[in-house]
Structure 1
Amino acid sequence: MDLTALVDFVTVARHGGFGRAARGSGRPKATLSRRVAELEASLGIRLFERGSRMLKLTEEGRALQERAGALLIELDETAAAIASGGDKPRGRLRISAPLLFSQTAMGKLAAGFSLKYPEVRLEVTTEDRPVDMVEEGYDLVIRVNPDPDESLVGRAFLRDRLVVVAAPHLACDSGAAVPVVIRGTLDQTRSWTINTPTGQISLQINSVLSLSSMTMVRDAVRMGVGAARLPLSLVSHDLAEGRLVRWGDVEGPETVLWALYPSRRLLSARVSAFLDYLKQAFPLGTADELAAYVAE
């Protein structure tokens, strides 16, 4: 594939037309048109739908722009780093993070990172869904207990666990159904298995309220509506100050937060810097450490 033709295609796609691309890049319109036509011919696909007054990317053209555009940016940044004689973090860094971690810690993390690395343009979006890093142009994603993916590598940086908590006036009685607040859609679950200091019990439950985020569930539990299963890091201060009491731990694996990035690409200086910053923020990676970080 002709790299020059690829650069010209990305230029035209970003400007939305040959005329605007020619004015923006200083390259002749005829040259841009010819290069794009040659690229289409070599690939055997149409990259643009050409109308009398408009130029629109095809589905294949959009996919090529997303992937090639990110790679060309990385090439430019690598060349700039080499030319400057160092690997100082700079350029755009796009991160996807889950809702709860974004609400509690990501704002502080992002601000601190930006102050330390002012030449990095940090963009953080909140997504609980498993985003496609390459297709959507992310440099790094933070995920909770991610499924194995051969195209991604990363490191675990935080560990948490779910605990059952309630306001002090509610009783943990395994013989009677207790009101509970859940995250998500109300279901037909009738019991929770929890581990207590005296052993494992099956708690009979009655789902009385359904909310879409963990912070909303915690706030409802503080009001005494019912018990809930919540991350220890989110309620540790409420437990310490007596606003909530801990009935036990939810049976099952612990919650692990991972920072993931594509394994096929070289790790950029900005991604390495952010991974190091996470390690500095959470050197032990415990739930109590996350709670303390949020409370500071």
Structure 2
Amino acid sequence: MDLLALADFNLVARHGGFGRATRASGRPKATLSRRVLELEAALGVRLLERGARTLKLTQEGEVFHARMAPLLLEIDETVTALKSGASAVSGRLRISAPLLFAQMALGKLAARFALAYPHVRLEITTEDRAVDMVEEGYDLAIRVNPDPDATLVGRIILRDRLAVVAHPGIARPLGDEPAAAVLRADGGGAAAWTLQDGARIAIEPRLRLSSLVMVRDAVVAGVGAACLPVSLVSREVAAGRLLQWGELDAAEIAISALYPSRRLLSPRVAAFLDLLKTVFPNGTTDELAACMSAT
């Protein structure tokens, strides 16, 4: 397929007409029209509805433009980066990240990235759902224990574990006596925590909160025990504000940075991945805790 025809269609679609595209680019109107007709013939679908005075995208044209425009932009930016070096890293970088990781580390990482790459417009959205990266226009997604997805590639940047912690003034219950528990609001209805040593701690929910940071703060205040990521409570445990009853008998938490496999790895994404690798070279909980405590 002719890359120039794709670029000309994108130009016309972006400007809303052949005349506007001609004035913006300097390319002859007849050439743009011919290229788009050739592209439609090659695809076997109509991309534009041509009226006497108006032009609009067909439904197929809208879908095609939405998918092709980011790819063409990445090609242009990659060529520019190859010609100009690292100083050419620019444009918009959209990242989706889970709330807890954003609260723990992304503020500092975003500031560090912005200072290193002032020509990049960095946008970070915090939400725990798995966004559709292509449809919603994200360049990079940070996910916890992501499901296998053939359309995404990337790497694990951090590994974490879960530990049951409580205020030092709260005694660990004996036998089947339940422990007062602070739970995440959407954390399900587990009746007990099973630790790595085989011990089982029955729980009686006392408080449900929507954020794990809120859960930690409530546990520090002495409301009850909670099961939380080690990186989130390591400073409190080290300072004696929390006591660790044990680690959960469960698989490690893997935090991954992912991007669409069908896209070229843009200089912006590569630069952010390099920053993650610099800050978390071994992907340990200690490195995440250090990032949180850094000034």
Aligned match of 1:189: 190
**Contact 1:158-1:256 at 8 Å conserved across structures:** yes
- Partners of 1:186 and 1:243 lie apart in 2 by 24
Question: After superposition, what is the alpha-carbon deviation per residue over 1:221-262, rounded to whole angstroms, capped at 9, x for unaligned?
Answer: 223222111111111111122222211111111111112233
158-167 vs 220-229, which moves further: 220-229
**C-alpha distance in structure 1 between counterparts of 2:248 and 2:55, whole Å:** 56
Cα separation, 2, equivalents of 1:283 and 1:82? 26
> Does the CA-based 8 Å contact 1:180-1:226 persist in structure 2?
yes
**Structure 1 gap segments, 5+ residues each:** none
Change (3 A) 1:139 1:9: same
Letter in 2 for 1:242: G
Identity over aligned pairs, percent: 61
Aligned residues: 292
- CA displacement at 1:124 relative to structure 2: 2.2
Aligned-partner SS, 2:169:
coil
Shift of 1:180: 1.3
Relative distance call for 1:34 and 1:229 in structure 2 (3 A) is same
1:91 is matched with 90
**Can you list the C-alpha shifts for 1:126-169, whole angstroms capped at 9, x where unaligned?**
23222233333333222212222333332222111111112223
Indicate the larger mover: 46-55 or 202-211. Answer: 46-55
Q: Is the 8 A contact 1:88 1:269 kept in 2?
A: no
Q: 1:225 to 1:53 in 2, by over 3 A?
A: farther
TM-score, structure 2 normalization: 0.85
Q: Would the alpha carbon gap of residues 157 and 16 (structure 1) be closer, same or farther in structure 2, given more than 3 Å must change?
A: same
Once residues 177 and 56 of structure 1 are traced to their aligned partners in structure 2, the CA distance between those partners, rounded to angstroms, is 65
Gaps of 5+ in 2: none
Counterpart check, 1:272 vs 2:270 = yes
Aligned partners of 1:186 and 1:207 also within 8 Å: no
Does the 8 Å CA contact 1:89/1:117 hold for their aligned counterparts? no
User: How far apart in 2 are the matches of 1:221 and 1:164?
Assistant: 10
1:262 is matched with which residue? Answer: 260
Match of 2:221 among 223, 226, 230: 223
Are the structure 2 counterparts of residues 52 and 252 from structure 1 closer, same or farther at C-alpha, using a change threshold of 3 Å?
A: farther
In the other structure, the counterpart of 1:210 is 208
Q: What residue identity is the alignment partner of 2:96?
A: S
Q: Does 1:171 align with 2:205?
A: no
Q: Which residue of 2 aligns with 1:133?
A: 133
1:109 maps to 2:109: yes
Q: Is the CA contact (8 Å cut-off) linking 2:180 and 2:223 kept in structure 1?
A: yes
Q: Quick check: 128-137 or 24-33, which moved more?
A: 24-33
How far did 1:37 drift? 4.8
Shift in Å, 1:100? 1.0
Q: Verify the 8 A CA contact 1:192 1:205 in the aligned structure 2.
A: yes
In the TM superposition, what is the alpha-carbon distance from 1:45 to its structure 2 partner? 2.8
- Asked if 2 retains the 8 angstrom alpha-carbon contact of 1:89 and 1:270, the reply is no
* Counterparts in 2 of 1:266 and 1:35: CA distance versus 1, 3 Å: closer
Distance 1:278 1:186 in 2: 28
Partner Cα separation in structure 1 for residue 17 and residue 207 of structure 2: 52
Q: TM-score, normalised to structure 1's length? A: 0.85
